[in-house]
Structure 1
Amino acid sequence: MDRLSALEIFVTVVSEGSFSAAARSLGMSKSAVSKHIAALEDRLGVRLLNRTTRRLSLTDAGALYCERANRLIAEAEDAEAEVSQLSSAPKGVLRLSAPLSFGIRHLGPLLPAFLAQNPGLTIDLKLDDRLVDLVQDGFDIALRVTTLTDSSLMVRRLCPSRVVMVASPDYLAERGIPAEPADLKEHACLVYSNQTYGLEWRLVEAASGDKLTVRLGDSRVRANNGDILRFAALQGQGIAILPTFFVGEDISSQRLVRVLPGWEGVSNDVCLVWPHARYTPAKVRAFVDYMVKALGGGTPPWEDCPSLSRGLPPSQG
């Protein structure tokens, strides 16, 4: 018998607590199990089990060997499962979580092609700005726009998510153009109410990387959804600070222009997260590979416009 099979018989005897129970579990005779254990001890030159008429117990050597044997068997099972996954087509239901606005704007349009490439898959997508617990809520994978930190989850970064200040040309013509961050106190600012730092914007100077916190003055609109703030900015209600995936097209078409283009908000990452497992299911691996090709190739599609690198010159105010 090969060594891996001998290990499996040994750990089964230990887990079942007797040769008879192990024999039933393995579909072997009791005498065959006993002979394999005896042969294993002869090969190792050490006793692994103490045998009495009532029960079996591990020797010190047996306890050490059992721990290593379990680890080797688990690794062998993982390797077989992982290789098997490589040859199997993704199938079943992929339970996916994503933020509401990003999901509608940028994830939704990508899903038809993914499903066409994977006819055995069905997608169950839940859009929610709440940070879901993947394991507790039963999700296979989640797309998140967040600052990456140490996590108990597997993480694959797709692309950056820049945050910029924008306003409509009409608003700036009426209220003037801020020349420096301190000027924001004199403007109507549109605030994302889910942020934890209240009526403040945390800014980063693009050239130097210096950070600055600005206390805001008038706040015309507060909302817990970026699309609401975008609509308000388009209607000339004030200055908003939003991820470029919301406003990239508006900046390109000049419906909105950048304010204080030398400064940005604290950027995040668009990433995929999924639970740790002995091996990644084929359906999850297929989705990760697809999204890496779709969004992981450098500049995100919503930033593919020169206008994002500049704002409205002060002379036009």
Structure 2
Amino acid sequence: MDSHRVRAILCFVQAVDTGSFAAAGRALGVTSAAISKNVATLEKALGVRLLNRTTRTLELTEEGTAFLRQARVALEALDAAVDTIAMQRAQISGRVRISTSSAFGRAHLMPVLSGLLSQHPGLSIEVDFDDRLVDLVRDRYDIALRGGNIRDSALISRPVCRLNTLLVASSDYLARHGVPHVPKDLHRHSLIARHFLGGAVATWSFQASDGSITTLDPVDTATLTLSAPEALVEAALNGIGIAQVGVHLALEHLATGKLKIVLHGRYHPGTYEMVIQYPHRVLIAPRVRVTVDYLLEAFSGDERLHVPLQTLDAYAA
């Protein structure tokens, strides 16, 4: 049922209830001519006369009486539908599908879901842990948690944090192979590289004293190449070599002394960021809106995601 037909039916019912086109117009905030035109359009579409008009009264025809009964049922159904949605908005219910990477999802999303579900018990959450870049619309996700250089303008992106990276190695590895002091020293070391499932490779950047940036592609000389970010941390912990990892993944191991930062001050932390993304829509569903707002607030209080780089000086090799 299109909006024009609904408007015409509403005008007809209001005219019957108030007894005139003028009174119906005042009730609906339009002119009596507009009411008359809408009723006439409705009669033309139905192919029957619904009202007999005189200068003073409106009288229902037999067809008009039958149509009025069905029209009231239809309008009551529309009101019930509106009330149902309003109640859902108040109660916040429904399923929210989230796509996230394995590392971020397990370390940062999972710990906050209990609070979200306690605050909104009508919600149900479905999480897919997948490091691939998904198509939110095609794959029917409500929200994606994505890290990297975010460029997808077809989606709304809400920033969560900067994903600063650093170079780390285990204390045992550095004791055996020495500490690199300048980027060219890396050629004498075992490097652990990361490649993305799409085929791209994570390069390493270094900033000179004059501000210029140089880039190293570690894949050509890498001892080990991995796709999962948490696997890079594990490989570094096992003493295999030097890896580029996110601060949020390395922090607990830096605090225990199991990992050390190398080339601190020379290495450039990159321009990666973590965002919450969802499709452009005129009206975002309440279940999605409250989930996005809750996660943004929860992540803003996660100290592991907001570590000032200057506080990492104590962990440098």
Shared fold per TM-score greater than 0.5? yes
Q: Which residue of 1 aligns with 2:243?
A: 240
Distance 1:39 1:254 in 2: 82
SS state at 1:158 partner: strand
CA contact (8 A) 2:183 2:206 kept: no
Compared with structure 1, are the counterparts of its residues 299 and 203 closer, same or farther at alpha carbon in structure 2 (3 Å cutoff)?
Answer: farther
Q: How does 1:134-283 map to 2 (within 5 A)?
A: 134-149=136-151, 151-194=153-196, 196=199, 198=201, 201-205=203-207, 210-216=212-218, 218-262=221-265, 263-283=267-287
Count of residues in correspondence between the two structures: 264
Which string of whole-angstrom CA distances, capped at 9 and with x for unpartnered residues, describes residues 236-275 of structure 1? 1000001112111111111101011111342311110111
Compared with structure 1, are the counterparts of its residues 277 and 308 closer, same or farther at alpha carbon in structure 2 (3 Å cutoff)?
Answer: same
CA RMSD of aligned residues (A): 4.0
Q: Which amino acid aligns with 1:26?
A: I
Distance 1:130 1:302 in 2: 25
Distance 1:41 1:26 in 2: 10
Q: Which residue of 1 aligns with 2:55?
A: none
Compared with structure 1, are the counterparts of its residues 24 and 94 closer, same or farther at alpha carbon in structure 2 (3 Å cutoff)?
Answer: closer
Q: Which runs of 4+ in 1 moved over 6 A?
A: 35-38
Which string of whole-angstrom CA distances, capped at 9 and with x for unpartnered residues, describes residues 88-140 of structure 1? 13211111111111101111111111111111111011110111111111111
1:26 to 1, 4, 9: 9
Q: Which residue of 2 aligns with 1:292?
A: 296
Distance 1:212 1:306 in 2: 22
Q: Which residue of 2 aligns with 1:128?
A: 130
Give the TM-score normalised by structure 2: 0.70
Distance 1:287 1:257 in 2: 37
1:39 aligned onto 2:30: no
CA contact (8 A) 2:105 2:129 kept: yes
SS state at 2:316 partner: coil
Q: Structure 1: any 5+ residue segments left out of the alignment?
A: 1-8, 13-21, 43-48, 54-79
Distance 2:189 2:294 in 1: 43
Q: Which amino acid aligns with 1:224?
A: S
Q: Which residue of 1 aligns with 2:58?
A: none
**Identical columns (%):** 30
Q: Which amino acid aligns with 2:9?
A: L
The offset of 1:87, in angstroms, is 5.8
Distance 2:141 2:189 in 1: 42
Greater gyration radius = 2
Q: Which amino acid aligns with 2:92?
A: P
